[in-house]
Structure 1
Amino acid sequence: MPESTQDNINNPDVSSVPTRFPYVPATPEPSPQNPVVSKDITVNRSKSTWMRLYVPTAALNGGVSSEKLPLVVYYHGGGFATGSVDFYPHHDFCNLMARELNAVFASPSYRLAPVNRLPAAYDDGVDAPAVFADLSPLRIRGMILHQPFFGGEERCESETNVNFPHILSDACWHFCLPVGANRDHEYSNPTVGDGPKQMEKIGRLGRNWKVVVIGRERHRLIDRHRDVAKLMKDQGVDVTEHFTDGDVHGAELVNQGETTLACIRSIIYSSSP
């Protein structure tokens, strides 16, 4: 590994992970060339968290929504240490999903490691839907795990059989987990500790609460995705697995396959009241 990378990982005083991502502004004005409008709103001023909302213009009538649309809260990726709501692949992905699925997408920010280690991002993720507390009736009907980032001390088979440096994911966990914790902490490995009990709680929500796990067949974390899906099924959770061919992490942000779109569409509308 490059010496500078190792120095950063071993340096407890490192306060940020440098990023050079292209960012894009919201597009609040509807137009024929803009099939989705987006707007930025504040979530928590003290934590500097915010959210970008996406609404398909076809659902607007004189500035007022003419129909009830599903609401999807989308949390961007980045290993809890990088990325942003306005990073252009995340923005374009939400634009595409809102348009193709005819749904409102909400993309909240969250505090990043190493300045804010977990559970800061998880806490911010839980806080974000409170923005919609005045909407009634509003119920959470399911969860989409889109190439979720899991870890563990023992390497699973898919992690050892593909050409992807462990240093990348290991560094993210090193930066974001509580100081002194390893990758078998509950924040990174939901199959250990109280993980099964937490899955059982989801299972008790019944058949009206659905989960879909989306991954890539040759992705280095595919075995972890399968393990978590199996654990949830064993605890009574209604789980759909959707694994497509490929090994590139985040490929759907650039080229969303029709089968994945159909899977997400099915889970959204089958969960609608």
Structure 2
Amino acid sequence: MSGAGGTAPHVVEGFYGVVELLSDGSVVRGDETTVMPTGPFPDVPDVEWKDAVYDAARGLKVRVYRPSPVTAGGGTTEGDNKLPVLVYFHGGGYCIGAYDHPMFHYRCQSFAAELPAVVLSVQYRRAPEHRLPAAVEDAAAFFSWLRRAQAGAEPWLVDSADLSRTFVSGVSAGANLAHHVVVQIASGKIELAAPARLAGYVLFSAFFGSEERVGTESDPPPDVSLTVEASDKLWRMALPVGATRDHPLANPFGPGSPSLEALPLPPALVVAPGQDVLRDHVLRYAARLKAMGKAVELAEFAGERHGFSCGQRSAATEELMRILKRFVGHGATLRLQLI
């Protein structure tokens, strides 16, 4: 027996045996492969990658990808042919997943090869051991590292990256995190050092929530990969203790959320899978930004499930890559117009 009263700790919140929060505050983790497939995901040819530590105190890493030795289309990564930068935050409801998980690793390799781009896949602390806003704090620490890295601390960025074309992206919880990062950059809470410039952001299957149920939560599409019950469990473990789904970190338009109206948000690409209980949250996000006069491109994929962008190559991921290439290329055009 354990504890002052002789009662063993019991599970107070759990996610299908993968993460269990116990009554004494401890956390037990199980096998994530039961809910996050490990493949097999093939290695993408002609892409090199390496890990760098961006926060030594917390042991947090970023995985850096770049095409090797030349970009797609035969150009080098020197001079005016340097590549755009795609910052990527992995998914997992803020509670599971990892920057080096096989499916995220495969997707980042694909981005590096096909855009082409320098891709920065960022590790962040996970809940419930580290509840929000821990992940947002880690993202701010990453951008502090990025300022040092562009000054010479990371040779691959110096050699290959055009930081004036930096895009922030993420899938699921990573898309939620990407939103908050962009808001903090736009409001000046996260600083980019010249020549770095935020050219746009991309939200794949964004993990948003609210106390009010949207239509696809009340009447879920068939064969979903993320259920309403699972989404609620993840939010209960990820948000600050006692917070509801109207917390600003879950609901960007909640009663306590900061207004986005006056912020100089960059262009957004919002990807909404049709078979996703969170689809109407994503559609509402895009619609609200458009109503504010923000530049938003909405890409809907009727037959796809939550997180499909991380899956094996398919007709849908091929179409998504074409849309993303056009969006990133448009960012390059805007840059040329500003020079």
Would the TM-score normalized by the shorter structure come out above 0.5? yes
Paired amino acid for 1:170: D
Verify the 8 A CA contact 2:274 2:303 in the aligned structure 1. yes
CA distance in 1, matches of 2:247, 2:234: 14
Q: Deviations over 1:132-175 (max 9, x none)?
A: 31535211111101111011112111112225532211111011
Verify the 8 A CA contact 2:62 2:121 in the aligned structure 1. yes
2:83 counterpart residue number: 69
Paired amino acid for 1:85: Y
Per the alignment, in what secondary structure is the counterpart of residue 89 of structure 2? coil
* Change over 3 Å in CA distance of 1:93–1:5 after alignment to 2: farther
Verify the 8 A CA contact 1:75 1:107 in the aligned structure 2. yes
Cα drift, residue 23 of structure 1: 7.7
CA distance in 1, matches of 2:64, 2:140: 17
Q: What is the CA RMSD across the aligned residues, in angstroms?
A: 2.6
1:111 aligns with 2:125: yes
2:27 counterpart residue number: 15
CA distance in 2, matches of 1:143, 1:194: 23
Q: Deviations over 1:27-52 (max 9, x none)?
A: xxxxxx84100010001011221100
CA distance in 1, matches of 2:144, 2:30: 31
Cα drift, residue 69 of structure 1: 0.4
Cα drift, residue 18 of structure 1: 2.7
* TM value normalised by structure 1: 0.85
CA distance in 1, matches of 2:289, 2:106: 31
* Change over 3 Å in CA distance of 1:89–1:96 after alignment to 2: same
Verify the 8 A CA contact 2:274 2:305 in the aligned structure 1. no
Find runs of 4+ consecutive structure 1 residues off by over 6 angstroms.
none
Match of 1:184 among 239, 246, 250: 246
CA distance in 1, matches of 2:70, 2:261: 37
Match of 1:271 among 331, 334, 337: 331
* Change over 3 Å in CA distance of 1:12–1:183 after alignment to 2: farther
Match of 2:233 among 146, 171, 178: 171
2:198 counterpart residue number: 140
* Change over 3 Å in CA distance of 1:227–1:6 after alignment to 2: same
Q: Percent identity?
A: 29
Count of paired positions = 256
* TM value normalised by structure 2: 0.69
Larger deviation: 177-186 or 238-247?
Answer: 238-247
1:200 counterpart residue number: 261
* Change over 3 Å in CA distance of 1:179–1:6 after alignment to 2: closer
| Unmatched 5+ stretches in structure 1 | 25-32
Cα drift, residue 124 of structure 1: 1.0
Cα drift, residue 245 of structure 1: 1.9
Q: Deviations over 1:165-187 (max 9, x none)?
A: 32211111011100010111111
Per the alignment, in what secondary structure is the counterpart of residue 298 of structure 2? strand
Paired amino acid for 2:283: R
Larger deviation: 141-150 or 244-253?
Answer: 244-253
* Change over 3 Å in CA distance of 1:19–1:237 after alignment to 2: farther
Higher strand share: 2
| Unmatched 5+ stretches in structure 2 | 1-9, 15-19, 151-193
